[in-house]
Structure 1
Amino acid sequence: MEEARTYLASRFPSQYGGYFECTKKEGKAAFLNRFAVGGSIVRYRSIHPKTVEDIVALDVALPRNTIDWFESLPSDIAQKIDFTMYCGHFFCHVMYQEYLVKKGENCDTVKDAILSLLKARGAEYPAEHNVGHQYEAVDSLKNFYRKLDPTNSFNPGIGKTSLQLDWKDARHYTGEQGNSQPSSL
């Protein structure tokens, strides 16, 4: 605790922010903020259906040496976004970045463009949660899935891998019509 106090006192207050030390009760209340933040973006989307297409939600880990945590989106991407929300863990480079995409814009295109920027910055995604069906798994994880589930029966398509039994037709699922569909067991 003393090391954290010394570190924070050497940097704050400044033009970039400040800090205060919470009591246990305040700490528990502050922890609940993450749920309010997450819920607010969903609520905003639901009450603005005429201006918001959907949410692009990212779970990102920036490299440890990152100084500039917030991206500067190029105008061709920024103009497609109605509102952006960032939150993260204290003293951790895991960020939750949520973008309310403007009505009529393609959320997958916006997401792919933002992920390309993050990849160029050396970010890892997903950072804290698993790849699910939202992100493409890295090769080592795909190989782990194949070893763990040689028949591809438990969770086909995870990490945008094959949806087919026994990993046949290794085209990955992108959610678009015409791509491979799960085989029945």
Structure 2
Amino acid sequence: MWHSFRGYGFYGELRLRYLGDNESDFILDAVGRVYGQLPLAALLCRKILCLHGGLSPKLQSIDDIRKIKRGLTEPSGLVEDLLWSDPSPSCMGFKANAERGCSFVFGADVVADRCQKLGILMIVRGHQAVDEGFEISSDRKVITLFSAPGYQDHYVNKGAVMIVSLSHPQPFYKC
């Protein structure tokens, strides 16, 4: 997974700030170890599954996520899918994610099936810059939420946050 730090500019920024390769490599390794300990998902109010990427054919229960061992350095299988899969409005089922070169794209049929199996109402994910900072699927079961405005200095997207409250029946989105 830490190879993605190099491809998305983090390693380059480390090298600019810490001129020696040894320091940059040391920091990159330390950050990678920290990332390996972070949770891969959050379950809000037992009804909203929050992920970086999306769904997996290997995800059949919330316990499948709970059983994942921490400290991974190279994701595969379920972990890779939770990080890298993407919803696709034109897809049925799961299909190879050609755009990313790993994991899957998944359709609304998969979302409906997994929401029912997992006992959840919706999935909130990041992972893709969207113009308004958030995007809601037509069935309102997938929300893509992107908090970084002007992503990588060449997108003109807004950033957004989402507020979930037990006293409010619907999430509130803010750009």
The structure whose residues are more often helix, as a share, is 1
TM-score w.r.t. the length of structure 2 is: 0.26
- Structure with a larger share of its residues in strand: 2
TM-score, length-normalised on structure 1? Answer: 0.25
